[in-house]
Chains A and B, each alone.
Chain A
Amino acid sequence: MSVAIEVSGLEKSYATGWLGRQERALRGIDLQVECGETLAILGPNGAGKSTLLLVLAGLRHPTAGRWKVRGSVGLVPERPALYPGLSARRLLWLCGSAQGMAESELGTRVEEELERLRLLPFADRPIRALSQGVRQRVALAQALLHKPDVLLLDEPLGALDPQSALALVDVLNAEKARGATLVVATHRLAELAGTCGEVAYMRDGALWALGPTGSVLQRLPSRITYGMADGTAGTVSVAQVVADPDGQEAAMAALRARGGRVIRVEPDVTAMGGLSSDGSVPRP
């Protein structure tokens, strides 16, 4: 199988403050994504996930290292900046023209994407009048318009309600079935776990783990979403309940003993701790 994305020794630093102190956003990233593969990138805020996607899209210049993306790219940034005065339909026309799409094909594709992402009722309103969730779908439509070979998505579920999130997962599965390579930076792996074949875990600009979803998730700290008898609910990390961060079962038992009901257990990608270089979870 051919490689869609190839990254080697990628570094990115920013000058900060008056003295231009260098902050390293990416530290020697090595990564390969096969054509048609779907990779989820997990990690706490500031881990470098967005920077990596923006470098892959050619919007940020790396300080060192090499990267190669084969084929056309579609990008959904975390906070998509869309021309606020344009309508969704006009924006899609503009993006398609910038892509070099023929007018006849563009007209058909614009309408197809507006319909697929349930944007037709909002298609002619100015983007500034749309809710954050609808804007997110417009951002996805511009990324999908030219049927890209590689789709880069940064927190695509971030502003979506549960129903829209499910619809989006269907769209991503359809793109995967079309043969597109997907790279998704997300905090919400639960919805995308079935879509992603591989998971990468980033922390402090470095890639800490990369591999099949199941094996990487087993090595990540967990967090538990629970409900109490009085109707309250919450989310805690395992380490907050029991001393041993690996004691997932003990933590669930402790919550049940307090009258709680375990709703969901998922990897705690925002945890302060991360994986150590040998893949084990460091002790607090």
Chain B
Amino acid sequence: MRALGPLVWQVVGDAVEERVYGVVPLFGLALVLGAPLVSASTLAGGTRAVLDLGWFGLWLSLSVLGGWMGLRAVGQDLRDRTAAILLYRPLAPSTWVASRLVGMSLVLGALAVAMGGVWAGIALAWGASLSTQWVWAVLLLWSEATVIGAMAGLFSALGSRLFAVGSTGALWVAGHLSAEYGRLTAEAEMAWVSTVVFTGIPDLDRFNVQEALVHDLHISTMTALGVIAYACIWVVLLHALTAIVVSKRDLA
């Protein structure tokens, strides 16, 4: 486990070298320019427009970054065979995969905090009053992005980049529909099939607290921690699957 720290920092260093932090000012600029447009076109109040647009921007940015980082941290290292000089030592595949996921999650966390800060600043300037919902919203979006990154990591270890992008995208869409689909099919014949299928993929809609945020509804600490625990369970499961795939692959 001594190896974990340097390997984690390598992932963070790669992300810094790739200048992922550039997304923060872009997000701020999009929010400043977009909020008045959204406000005017939807007749929503300016405060609500900033909260709505900020949540959507943060969700989209972190989801895409999570997927991209998962693909890069796991799949690209395997494809480029750069992981080989670490894994022959022998370094346990589970340690290597864990370092990728922890590093990715740290970067996503830092970006979530930075973008959340920009969002909060702009919202306050528009006259919004921020409560703990805002903190939970950022935390849950970070958790969702980490789950998406772990999914992308697994798929990128399994196959080509195209396969990984397609599978992660499909699971991302299905993950946001899983609760809805479960409700629709609950009464249908063979409901157990949909139950099995949609229990087998992460329910990403759980991380969505946009309504509560915009309408200032209370989010209980237990609910939020429950969703974060749900994310942790999925990340651990995906990590284990990815480690098994990596250990079975030819690495060079």
Which A positions have Cβ atoms within 8 angstroms of B? 54, 57-61, 72-73, 75, 77, 80-83, 85-86, 93-95, 97-100, 139, 142, 146
Q: Is the CB of B10 within 8 A of A58?
A: no
Instruction: Decide if A59 touches B252 in the complex (CB within 8 Å).
Output: yes
Q: Which of B78-109 contact A (CB under 8 A)?
A: 80-82, 84-91
- B250 within 8 A of partner (CB): yes
Inter-chain contact A73/B85, CB cutoff 8 Å: no
B147 CB to closest chain A CB (Å) equals 27
Residue A61 contacts which of B2, B5, B91, B248 (CB distance < 8 angstroms)? B248
Contacting pair A82 B82 (CB below 8 A): yes
A98-B89, A142-B85 are known; give 13 further A-B pairs, CB within 8 A.
A57-B88, A59-B251, A60-B250, A81-B82, A81-B252, A82-B82, A85-B17, A86-B13, A95-B86, A97-B3, A97-B6, A100-B2, A139-B85
Q: How far does the Cβ of B207 sit from chain A's closest Cβ, in whole Å?
A: 32
Given known A-B contacts A86-B10, A97-B3, A97-B7, A58 and B90 have beta carbons under 8 A apart: yes
Tell me if A94 and B89 are in contact (CB < 8 A).
Answer: no
Which of A75, A83, A146 contacts B82, CB < 8 Å? A83
| Inter-subunit contact A94/B7 (CB<8 Å) | yes
A-B contacts, 28 listed (Cβ < 8 Å)? A57-B88, A58-B87, A59-B251, A59-B252, A60-B250, A61-B250, A72-B89, A73-B88, A75-B85, A77-B84, A77-B85, A77-B252, A80-B85, A81-B80, A81-B81, A81-B252, A82-B82, A85-B13, A86-B13, A94-B7, A97-B6, A97-B7, A98-B6, A98-B7, A98-B89, A98-B91, A142-B85, A146-B89
Q: Which A residue's beta carbon lies closest to that of B18?
A: A85
Residues of B with C-beta under 8 A to A146: 89
Contacts of B251 in A (CB 8 A): 59-60
